[in-house]
Amino acid sequence: MLNKKINVMVLTCSMLAGLTFASVANAHPRWVLPSHFTISKEGGDWLSFDVTASHGVFVFDKPAGSETAQIIMPDGRKQRPDFVLRGKRRSVFDFHFSEQGTHKVQINNQAGYFTSFKAGHRDTPKRLRANKIDRVALLPKEPRDVVTTETYTRVESYITVGKPSEKAFELEGKYLELLPITHPSDIVADEPVRLQLYFNGEAQAGVKVDITREGTLYRNHQEQIDVVSDEQGFVTFTPNVAGRYLLKAEHSGDLINNPLADRMSASVHFTFEAVLP
């Protein structure tokens, strides 16, 4: 009897949680585009990275910064890019890759906060760049449906010099993270790709993932692949054409007893290439 009650409660709770999980669409998703993903040159080589935020894959639109860019070396230590410049539609950085193995390139900004609310006679939806503490001074009188969301987006890609390695895959255990199961240097057109999603260090079910091939500007339809992570956080999909792809994973939910936000929206934007078979 008691067991039954608990089950019903769990079910109701998870249903409620499900209702509050709504996708916060990124108006301009930020991403990184490496000039190459693979290096075979003895002694290493220079690669260049474009960082921007845009509607199209891969179209340069907004000057997203590269100041926070990091390269996680095959042994796990972190390096800064050698040259960084910011233009009007993108930022660029270069790095000399000389160590054998797989490097993770990431451009992760600090967590951001926005507060959405309705105000005025017409219930006009509005937004503020403020957390729960700062919003007090900024909100108008009698605001309605006030919700503060913490956002965190990881922008990442992998570069392999010579023989692939996996040390750079190690997770931080914070926000949403993507663990490659298929090695990024082994993503091949027409072969299944398997990845695992983690939220705050735990495998996360129900993460929405979309994967889009480059060149959306030159075709009528997005031809986007949509998948959702299973109970163990796994997603599997097959890129059917060789080329460069942008994967966007997003997970959101309510925060309990958080002084700065009511909700969390965490994303991973992962750029990869599917090589020719």
Tell me if residue 184 falls in helix, strand or coil: helix
Interaction of residue 243 with another protein, rule CB under 8 A: no
Scanning residues 249 to 268, which ones bind another protein (CB under 8 A)?
none
**Of 259 and 277, which CB lies nearer to another protein in the complex structure?**
277
CB of 239 to another protein, least distance (A): 15
Interaction of residue 102 with another protein, rule CB under 8 A: no
**Of 41 and 129, which CB lies nearer to another protein in the complex structure?**
41
Interaction of residue 77 with another protein, rule CB under 8 A: no
Interaction of residue 41 with another protein, rule CB under 8 A: yes
Do 166 and 102 meet the contact criterion of CB atoms below 8 Å apart? yes
CB of 34 to another protein, least distance (A): 13
Figure out which of the listed residues 149, 185, 216, 252 binds another protein, where binding follows CB under 8 A.
185
Question: What is d(CA 246, CA 242) in angstroms, rounded to the nearest whole number?
Answer: 13
CB of 244 to another protein, least distance (A): 14
Interaction of residue 94 with another protein, rule CB under 8 A: no
Positions of E strands within the chain: 30-34, 38-39, 45-53, 69-72, 78-79, 83-86, 91-97, 101-107, 112-119, 124-128, 144-161, 176-180, 193-199, 202-203, 208-213, 225-228, 234-237, 243-254, 263-274
Figure out which of the listed residues 164, 206, 215, 253 binds another protein, where binding follows CB under 8 A.
164
Interaction of residue 45 with another protein, rule CB under 8 A: yes
Do 243 and 222 meet the contact criterion of CB atoms below 8 Å apart? no
Q: Pattern 202-241, binding to another protein, x per CB under 8 A?
A: ----------------------------------------
CB of 243 to another protein, least distance (A): 13
Per the rule left: phi > 0, alpha: psi between -120 and 50, beta: everything else, 189 is: beta
Interaction of residue 163 with another protein, rule CB under 8 A: yes
Interaction of residue 157 with another protein, rule CB under 8 A: no
Interaction of residue 55 with another protein, rule CB under 8 A: no
Question: What is d(CA 155, CA 167) in angstroms, rounded to the nearest whole number?
Answer: 18
Do 45 and 68 meet the contact criterion of CB atoms below 8 Å apart? no
Question: What is d(CA 71, CA 106) in angstroms, rounded to the nearest whole number?
Answer: 6
CB of 36 to another protein, least distance (A): 8
Which residues make Cβ contacts (< 8 Å) with residue 84, sequence separation at least 6?
Answer: 66, 67, 69, 91, 92, 93
> Under the rule (CB under 8 A), what is the footprint of another protein?
36, 38-42, 45, 160, 162-164, 185-186, 188, 275-277
